[in-house]
Structure 1
Amino acid sequence: MTDDQLQALKIAYTFMPQSIEVNKYEYGEDYKRVLEQIEFVRAVLFELEIDPDELGGEINPGSTPNSCY
């Protein structure tokens, strides 16, 4: 995977819904497929040693809230 492809994957992930946002009411019968796709992308990112939960701050640092820790 090239650096540009990896960057594209990171950006695309930031536009995906979070798993907690996916439900049958919003996504109908497709909600299970959507959850599977989100988990697939997360798994690939983890394989590449990238924490998906940190991508928002990396890709869009100005729009990410400060940590409360």
Structure 2
Amino acid sequence: MSDTDTLQALKTAFTFMPKPVEVTRFEYGDDASRILEQINFVREVLITHGIDPDEVAGDINPMSTPNSCY
């Protein structure tokens, strides 16, 4: 598997992760902190590879993401 394939897999998995604002103690209990750390770790890896995490969903599923307003 190439680095390109690995990054594509990471981007795809990232689209299924909850958004940080969705991770609450009410919803995730004691795991909330750990889940937020994992989400932030994946975001940092994407950024390190020149990928904007906020644009990943549009790259992976362009037909199901809203148009940007800026």
- CA distance in 2 between counterparts of 1:52 and 1:68 reads 17
2:12 corresponds to which residue? 11
Q: CA RMSD in A?
A: 0.9
TM-score normalised by structure 2 residue count: 0.94
1:37 corresponds to which residue? 38
- CA distance in 2 between counterparts of 1:46 and 1:34 reads 18
- Segments of 5+ residues of structure 1 without an aligned counterpart are none
1:36-55 to 2 correspondence within 5 Å? 36-55=37-56
- CA distance in 1 between counterparts of 2:63 and 2:44 reads 26
- How far 1:68 sits from its partner (Å)? 2.0
- How far 1:33 sits from its partner (Å)? 0.2
**Number of positions where the alignment pairs a residue of Structure 1 with one of Structure 2:** 69
Q: Which has the higher contact order (CA 8 A, sep 6+)?
A: 2
1:58 corresponds to which residue? 59
- Segments of 5+ residues of structure 2 without an aligned counterpart are none
TM-score normalised by structure 1 residue count: 0.95
- CA distance in 2 between counterparts of 1:41 and 1:68 reads 25
**Percent identity between the two aligned chains:** 62
